[in-house]
Amino acid sequence: MPDRPSEDDLIARYFAPLAGPAGLALADDVALLEPPPGRELVLTTDALVAGVHFFADDPAAAIARKALRVNISDLAAKGAEPIGFLIALALPGDWTASWLEAFAAGLGEDAALYRCPLIGGDTVKTPGPLTIAITALGAVETGRMAKRSGVRPGDRLYVTGTIGDAALGLRLRLGQGPELAEAHRRHLLDRYLQPEPRLAVAPAMARFANAGMDVSDGFVGDLTKMLRVSGVSARVELQRLPLSPAARAAIVADPALFDVAATGGDDYELLAAVAPETCAAFEAAGAAAGVAVTLVGEAFAGAGPPRFIGRDGGEATFPRGAFSHFSSLGLNKEFNSDCRFARPRHPLSRRLRARAHGRRNRQATL
């Protein structure tokens, strides 16, 4: 095993440069954060596990970016601006300095890109696969967070970007997709590996959205969840579902892939429920931010499941509406059964501490 930096050197070299003022230079057991005036704090946590959310041999920088971006996506859906993040790593023991350097570089690039500095963290050693959990903190104007439960009858339902690229990209990564032009293939693979959080739309979400959430587990399932918790139903026109040219090409080659696109996870696009009188302003805000927002349906009073209308005018049904970690129909079962994941060869195994000399098994918290 090549020489590794000491714990103190590891923190000073790779992670302290990523810390914001609230992180206290990663020299303490805690972070210290003052909420911005007139704003409320928004907090979210997502965990990523090798063999479930990413491939063990994915580039270290890409793994780091994905771990941060899925959390940034949650903040964007709430209309929140990022202010910092904590990271917890549960990692096997055979990491190398070069892997860690690449991981920290990718993490730092995205922390700077999204103005979301590191403010603390923890690591533990595990006999299992690499696991990364990030808690991201954001701030939103008081009373303006787009809750999941805020859909009202009559609200128009929007989705950002394009749907299904990541799920189709995963199929290609598993060797199950159709033959496609290289540009289409690359687009779908990149969308799976590297989601793009729609942070540019966050101000519009805070200003115009009665409700919002990100599409992490599939368009059909996540929209159904948002409507159910809001106590309303909806009519959704599937022909309006925004698809990229690459996704359209895949579906032309294999029409059954439309269901995969509609129900597959990892899109990290945003769902928004917008009152009719503010739709034009919301659409204009999306255009100004450079993010397409597509009207896909309308909410109505009622407790039943949404009606998904196909191209023929008939009602479409989806046996599995969304990814579930604990369902036998979940994508994670398909993912794990179709892949043979080697144990990650290169993750960090020591604890990233919020201080250079830590006490065992204490996590940096606010």
In the chain, what are the helix, strand and coil shares in percent, each to the nearest 5? 35, 25, 40
Residue 342 reports pLDDT greater than 60: no
Mean pLDDT to the nearest integer, 162-179: 95
* Cβ–Cβ < 8 Å for 50, 133: no
pLDDT band at 159 (very low <50, low <70, confident <90, very high): very high
Question: Would you kindly state where each structural domain of the chain is located, as residue ranges?
Answer: 7-141, 156-323
Mean pLDDT to the nearest integer, 152-174: 97
Between 342 and 114, the higher pLDDT residue: 114
List the strands of the sheet with 131-141, edge to edge.
Answer: 39-49, 131-141, 81-91, 118-125
Residue 75 reports pLDDT greater than 50: yes
Separation between Cα atoms, residue 218 and residue 201, nearest integer Å:
20
pTM of the model: 0.86
Separation between Cα atoms, residue 117 and residue 354, nearest integer Å:
13
Reading the block at residue 241, the tokens are 């579902």
- Looking at residue 24, the DSSP 8-state letter turns out to be G
pLDDT band at 35 (very low <50, low <70, confident <90, very high): confident
Condensed to tens digits (0 to 9), the pLDDT of residues 211-232 reads 999 999 999 999 999 999 999 9
Which residues, including other chains, have CB under 8 Å from residue 244's CB and lie 6 or more apart? 162, 164, 165, 187, 191
* Range from 45-54, 105-114, 224-233 carrying the lowest mean pLDDT: 45-54
Express as a percent the part of the chain with pLDDT over 70: 86
Q: Biggest alpha carbon distance in the chain? A: 65
Reading the block at residue 329, the tokens are 């129909």
Strand partners, 82: 138
pLDDT band at 162 (very low <50, low <70, confident <90, very high): very high
What does R_g of the chain's alpha carbons equal in angstroms? Answer: 21
Q: Give the chain's length.
A: 366
| Alpha helix positions (H), 154-278 | 165-173, 182-193, 202-208, 219-230, 245-253, 257-263
pLDDT band at 2 (very low <50, low <70, confident <90, very high): low
Backbone angles phi, psi at 192, to 5 degrees: -75, -45
pLDDT band at 293 (very low <50, low <70, confident <90, very high): very high
* Range from 19-28, 86-95, 191-200 carrying the lowest mean pLDDT: 86-95
* Cβ–Cβ < 8 Å for 142, 39: yes
pLDDT band at 122 (very low <50, low <70, confident <90, very high): confident
Q: What is the CATH number of domain 156-323?
A: 3.90.650.10
| pLDDT given at position 345 | 32
**Cβ-count burial of 215 within 10 angstroms (0-12 exposed, 13-18 middle, 19+ buried)?**
buried
Superfamily of structural domain 7-141: PurM-like, N-terminal domain (3.30.1330.10)
Average pLDDT for the chain: 86
